[in-house]
Amino acid sequence: MKKTFWTVLLALIAAVCLCFGLAACDSGNGGNGGGNSGGTTEGLQFQKRKDEEGNEYAAVVGLGTVWETDIVIPSTFRGLPVKEIGASAFNFGTDGRNAYLTSIEIPDSVTMIGDSAFAGCGLTSVTISDSVTVIGDSAFSGCSNLESITVEEGNQNYSSQDGILYNKAKTEFVHIPKAVKGEVTIPDAVTFLGSSAFKGCSGLTSVTIGSGVTEIWQWAFQNCSGLASVTIPDSVTKIGQYAFQNCSGLTSVTIGSGVTEIGQYAFQNCSGLTSVTIGSGVTEIG
């Protein structure tokens, strides 16, 4: 009876590993993890998921046993297409491995990149294929070494300009920029600045906001310590909470008359701020 019990238990464990319902049981090269086999990185964590039509696919959900600085994501895993990089996939854990991730190769099979997928990573450049249709909020937030984001020309949803990523589907609002340095001009076609859009861009010294922008979302310029001055045009109606928090180099702010709401802590810890001009339309300051 005991032998039968253990036989059944081992069979169940093997079945779970084969199905990789929660994560890949493979760790590449054992305890140290990682390694490249056939051009792709072994040891990454995966989950099996289903799309809206019920078709199964694989999603990358973590570094797993990988300690590599350069990662190549496979286009298939155990017979399933790799279609997603999950939320916070490379932004978790206490060992800080994501900070040492400098290069990532994303296959054409990937269509979705989740919220905060690469937040805090040490990436220097990223290429988005024309197959990607969804990029979540703060996907590259805090990537202080990121110099450029390039989108393949055939992508129908996103485009890049001067290393900054735009979302065509949402009237080309600035979605995720590089760790930008110097001056940046937001085109008039942009209608709002996304959550954490320029968060942590300490090298940003000046920003010109286009006349099409109507909202500046939360954390949009948080920790931009080099930003010296900003003029918010009349087209903007709302400044989100923490939008300019910890911008210690900010000395002057001009807020247009279209702004009606300034979120809480929008300018918290702006220790160098000496001049603020608030437009007549403001009715609420958090």
pLDDT, residue 210, reads: 87
pLDDT, residue 158, reads: 87
Cβ atoms of 193 and 213 closer than 8 Å: yes
Q: How far apart are CA 168 and CA 269, in angstroms?
A: 34
For 73-98, how does the pLDDT look when each residue is reduced to its tens digit (9 = 90+)?
999 999 999 999 999 999 866 678 88
Q: How far apart are CA 196 and CA 120, in angstroms?
A: 12
Q: Which of 109-113, 192-196, 202-206, 263-267 has the lowest mean pLDDT?
A: 192-196
Q: How far apart are CA 160 and CA 134, in angstroms?
A: 15
Q: For residues 198-227, give the mean pLDDT.
A: 88
For 218-227, how does the pLDDT look when each residue is reduced to its tens digit (9 = 90+)?
988 999 899 9
What are the start-end ranges of the H helices in 167-278? none
Give CA separation, 44 vs 47, 65, 82, 128, 219, in Å.
10, 6, 12, 20, 31
Q: How far apart are CA 276 and CA 120, in angstroms?
A: 32
Q: Which residue in this structure is represented by tokens 């249709």?
A: 133
For 99-157, how does the pLDDT look when each residue is reduced to its tens digit (9 = 90+)?
888 999 999 999 999 988 998 888 888 889 999 999 887 788 777 788 778 888 888 88
DSSP, collapsed to helix, strand or coil, labels residue 113 as strand
DSSP, collapsed to helix, strand or coil, labels residue 179 as coil
For 215-268, how does the pLDDT look when each residue is reduced to its tens digit (9 = 90+)?
998 988 999 899 998 999 999 999 999 999 999 999 999 999 999 999 999 999
pLDDT, residue 53, reads: 94
Q: Does pLDDT of 170 surpass 90?
A: no
Q: Residue 202: which pLDDT band, with cuts at 50, 70 and 90?
A: confident
Q: Does pLDDT of 10 surpass 70?
A: no
pLDDT, residue 38, reads: 52
**Residue 62 host element (H or E):** strand 56-62
